[in-house]
Protein backbone atom coordinates (compact mmCIF):
# COMPACT_ATOMS: atom_id res chain seq x y z
CA UNK A 1 0.00 0.00 0.00
CA UNK A 2 1.34 3.40 -0.93
CA UNK A 3 1.01 6.56 1.14
CA UNK A 4 -1.66 7.95 -1.19
CA UNK A 5 -3.65 4.71 -0.96
CA UNK A 6 -3.39 4.83 2.83
CA UNK A 7 -4.64 8.43 2.85
CA UNK A 8 -7.63 7.45 0.67
CA UNK A 9 -8.51 4.54 2.98
CA UNK A 10 -8.26 6.74 6.07
CA UNK A 11 -10.40 9.38 4.35
CA UNK A 12 -13.03 6.74 3.62
CA UNK A 13 -13.02 5.45 7.19
CA UNK A 14 -13.36 8.97 8.60
CA UNK A 15 -16.18 9.81 6.20
CA UNK A 16 -18.07 6.70 7.27
CA UNK A 17 -17.58 7.24 11.00
CA UNK A 18 -17.93 11.00 11.54
CA UNK A 19 -19.84 13.94 10.16
CA UNK A 20 -17.10 16.57 10.27
CA UNK A 21 -16.05 17.83 6.85
CA UNK A 22 -12.71 19.57 7.37
CA UNK A 23 -10.86 16.53 8.74
CA UNK A 24 -11.43 14.51 5.57
CA UNK A 25 -9.12 16.58 3.43
CA UNK A 26 -6.14 14.67 2.06
CA UNK A 27 -3.68 17.37 3.10
CA UNK A 28 -4.74 17.13 6.75
CA UNK A 29 -4.46 13.35 6.75
CA UNK A 30 -1.07 13.50 5.02
CA UNK A 31 0.15 16.06 7.58
CA UNK A 32 -0.95 13.81 10.45
CA UNK A 33 0.88 10.82 8.93
CA UNK A 34 4.04 12.90 8.42
CA UNK A 35 3.84 14.18 12.00
CA UNK A 36 3.39 10.62 13.28
CA UNK A 37 6.57 9.59 11.47
CA UNK A 38 8.53 12.47 12.98
CA UNK A 39 7.22 11.90 16.51
CA UNK A 40 7.83 8.14 16.27
CA UNK A 41 11.41 8.65 15.07
CA UNK A 42 12.17 11.07 17.92
CA UNK A 43 10.65 8.77 20.52
CA UNK A 44 12.39 5.65 19.23
CA UNK A 45 15.74 7.45 18.98
CA UNK A 46 15.56 8.16 22.70
CA UNK A 47 14.76 4.50 23.45
CA UNK A 48 11.02 4.97 24.02
CA UNK A 49 7.93 3.27 22.71
CA UNK A 50 5.28 4.46 20.26
CA UNK A 51 1.76 3.15 20.87
CA UNK A 52 -0.35 2.65 17.76
CA UNK A 53 -3.94 2.28 19.02
CA UNK A 54 -5.64 -0.78 17.61
CA UNK A 55 -2.36 -2.10 16.17
CA UNK A 56 0.34 -2.47 18.81
CA UNK A 57 3.59 -0.78 19.84
CA UNK A 58 6.81 0.17 18.12
CA UNK A 59 9.78 -0.35 20.44
CA UNK A 60 13.48 0.44 20.21
CA UNK A 61 15.75 -2.55 20.95
CA UNK A 62 19.49 -2.87 21.29
CA UNK A 63 20.93 -5.56 19.02
CA UNK A 64 24.15 -7.26 20.06
CA UNK A 65 27.28 -7.36 17.95
CA UNK A 66 27.64 -10.63 16.06
CA UNK A 67 29.61 -12.40 13.38
CA UNK A 68 28.09 -12.69 9.92
CA UNK A 69 29.31 -13.88 6.53
CA UNK A 70 29.86 -12.00 3.31
CA UNK A 71 27.41 -13.74 0.94
CA UNK A 72 29.68 -13.31 -2.05
CA UNK A 73 33.01 -14.49 -0.60
CA UNK A 74 31.93 -16.37 2.52
CA UNK A 75 34.45 -14.41 4.59
CA UNK A 76 33.47 -13.70 8.20
CA UNK A 77 32.35 -10.12 8.84
CA UNK A 78 31.77 -8.50 12.22
CA UNK A 79 28.36 -6.83 12.46
CA UNK A 80 28.41 -4.07 15.07
CA UNK A 81 25.83 -3.53 17.79
CA UNK A 82 23.01 -1.16 16.88
CA UNK A 83 19.55 0.02 17.77
CA UNK A 84 16.67 -1.56 15.86
CA UNK A 85 12.91 -1.10 15.77
CA UNK A 86 10.58 -3.95 16.67
CA UNK A 87 6.80 -4.16 16.50
CA UNK A 88 4.73 -5.89 19.17
CA UNK A 89 1.23 -6.48 17.83
CA UNK A 90 -1.70 -5.78 20.13
CA UNK A 91 -4.40 -8.25 21.03
CA UNK A 92 -6.94 -6.66 18.68
CA UNK A 93 -4.64 -7.01 15.67
CA UNK A 94 -3.68 -10.57 16.62
CA UNK A 95 -7.34 -11.56 16.94
CA UNK A 96 -8.19 -10.08 13.51
CA UNK A 97 -5.39 -12.04 11.85
CA UNK A 98 -6.43 -15.40 13.31
What are the tens digits of pLDDT across the range 21-48? 555 577 787 888 888 888 889 889 988 8
Is residue 58 within 8 A of residue 86, CB to CB? The reply is yes
CATH 4.10.520.10 residue ranges for the chain: 49-98
Taking 90 as the threshold, does the pLDDT of residue 84 lie above it?
yes
Q: What is the model's pTM?
A: 0.67
Q: Name the CATH superfamily, with its identifier, for domain 49-98.
A: IHF-like DNA-binding proteins (4.10.520.10)
pLDDT (mean) for 67-92: 94
Q: Which residues pair with 83 in a beta bridge?
A: 62
Is residue 87 within 8 A of residue 61, CB to CB? The reply is no
Q: Given this model, what pLDDT does residue 60 score? A: 93
Amino acid sequence: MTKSELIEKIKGQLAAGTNTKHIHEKTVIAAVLDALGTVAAESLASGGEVPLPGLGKLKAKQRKARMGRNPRTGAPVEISARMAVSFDPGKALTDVLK
